[in-house]
Chain A
Amino acid sequence: MNLQAGKETIYNAEFRRSLEQSNQPGWLKSLRENAFAYFTENGFPTVQNEDWKYTNVSAIIKENFGFEASSIDAETLKIFAYPESKQTQLVFVDGKLNKELSDISALPENAVVLTFEEALKDERHAQTLKEKLARSINYDFNGFTALNTAFVDEGAFLHVPKNAKIETPILLLFVSTNNKANFPRVLIVAESFSEATIIESYARSNEARYLTDGVVEVFVADEARIKHFRVQRESHEAFHYTATAVNINRASFYDSTNINLGGKLSRHDINVKFNAEGGEAFVDGLYMLNDSQHHDTHSVIDHALPNCNSHQNYKGVLNEKSRGVFNGKVFVREDASGTDAQQSNKNLLLSNDARVDTKPQLEIFNDDVKCAHGATVGQLEEEELFYLLSRGLSENLARNLLTYGFAEEIINKIDIESIKKELDEAVLNRLEVNLEA
Chain B
Amino acid sequence: MLLEVKNLHAGIEGKAILKGLNLQINKGEIHAIMGPNGSGKSTLAKVLAGHPSYEVLQGEVFYEGKNLLELEPDERAREGVFLAFQYPVEVPGVSNSQFLRLAYNEKMKHLGEEELDPLEFNDLLKERAKIVEMDSSFFKRSVNEGFSGGEKKRNEILQMAVLEPKLAVLDETDSGLDIDALRIVAEGVNKLRGSENAIILVTHYQRLLNYIEPDFVHVLADGKIVKEGGKELALELEEKGYDWVKAAGK
Same complex: yes
Residues of A within 8 A of B102 (CB): 393, 397, 401, 435
Q: List A contacts of B95 (CB < 8 A).
A: 437
> Is the beta-carbon distance between A394 and B74 smaller than 8 angstroms?
yes
| Of A35-43, A287-295, A325-333, A402-410, the one touching chain B | A402-410
Establish whether residues B94 and A405, one from each chain, have CB atoms under 8 Å apart when the complex forms: yes
A390 CB contact (under 8 Å) in B73, B93, B98, B117: B73
CB A427 to nearest CB in B, in angstroms, measures: 9
Residues of B contacting A394 with CB < 8 Å? 74, 106
Q: Are A392 and B93 in contact (CB under 8 A)?
A: no
Chain B window 82-123, contacts with chain A (Cβ cutoff 8 Å), 1 for yes, 0 for no:
110100110111110011001100110010000001100000
B126 interfacial contact with A, CB 8 Å: no
- A residues 328-368 touching B (CB-CB < 8 Å): none
Q: Is the CB of B85 within 8 A of A387?
A: yes
Docked complex Cα distance between A381 and B103 (Å): 19
Do A384 and B91 contact each other (CB < 8 Å), given the known contacts A391-B103, A392-B163? Answer: yes
Q: How far is the CB of B81 from chain A (nearest CB, A)?
A: 8
**Contact partner, A407, options B53, B82, B88, B93, Cβ 8 Å:** B93
Number of interface residues of A (CB under 8 A): 29
Q: Does A382 contact B (CB under 8 A)?
A: yes
CB-contact partner of A393 in B52, B88, B103, B142, under 8 A: B103
Choose among A382, A393, A405, A436 the residue that contacts B106 (Cβ–Cβ < 8 A).
A393
A390-B73, A391-B103, A435-B94 known; 10 other A-B pairs, CB under 8 Å?
A386-B73, A389-B50, A390-B49, A390-B74, A390-B82, A392-B77, A392-B107, A392-B163, A393-B102, A401-B102
State how many angstroms separate the Cβ of A406 from the closest Cβ of chain B.
8
Q: Name A424's closest neighbour in chain B (CB-CB).
A: B93
Interface residue? A101 (CB, 8 A):
no
A405 and B93 form a contact (CB under 8 A): yes
A392 & B52 in contact (Cβ 8 Å cutoff): no
Instruction: Assess A404 versus B93: contact at CB under 8 Å? Given A389-B74, A392-B107, A436-B118.
Output: yes
Chain B 19-32 interface 0/1 with A at a Cβ cutoff of 8 Å (1 = within): 00000000000000
Contacts of B127 in A (CB 8 A): none
- Give A407 to B93 CA distance when docked, in angstroms: 8
A435 touches B51 (CB 8 A): no
Q: Which residue of A lies closest to B88 (CB)?
A: A387
Beta-carbon nearest neighbor of A436 in chain B = B118
Contacts of B73 in A (CB 8 A): 386, 389-390
B72 at the interface (CB under 8 A from A): yes
B153 within 8 A of A: no
Separation in Å of the B95 CB from the closest CB of chain A? 7
What's the minimum C-beta distance from A95 to chain B, rounded to whole angstroms? 36
Taking a contact as CB atoms under 8 Å apart, the answer to whether A383 and B89 are in contact is: yes
Top-7 shortest CB links A-B: A408-B93, A392-B77, A387-B89, A405-B93, A389-B73, A391-B103, A405-B92
> A235 CB to closest chain B CB, in angstroms?
27
With both beta carbons as reference points, the residue of chain B lying nearest to A394 in the complex is identified as: B74
Q: Say whether B77 contacts A402, CB under 8 Å.
A: no
Neighbouring A residues of B76 by C-beta, 8 Å:
390
Taking the complex as formed, is B159 at the interface, i.e. its CB lies under 8 A from any CB of chain A?
yes
Contact A392 B103 (CB under 8 A): yes
Interface contact A398-B74, CB-CB below 8 Å: yes
Contacts of B93 in A (CB 8 A): 404-409, 411-412
Contacts of B117 in A (CB 8 A): 436
B166 at the interface (CB under 8 A from A): no
- The answer to the question of A126 belonging to the interface, with a C-beta cut-off of 8 Å to chain B, is no
Closest chain A residue to B106, Cβ basis: A392
A411 CA / B83 CA spacing, docked (Å): 32
Alpha-carbon separation in the docked complex, A391 to B105 (Å):
11
Judge if A63 is at the interface, Cβ distance under 8 Å: no
Does A5 make an interface contact (CB < 8 A)?
no
A-B contact pairs, 10 of them (CB 8 A): A386-B49, A391-B77, A392-B74, A392-B78, A395-B74, A397-B102, A405-B92, A405-B93, A408-B94, A437-B118
A158 to chain B, nearest CB (A): 32
The 8 Å CB contact of B163, one of A383, A386, A389, A391, is A391
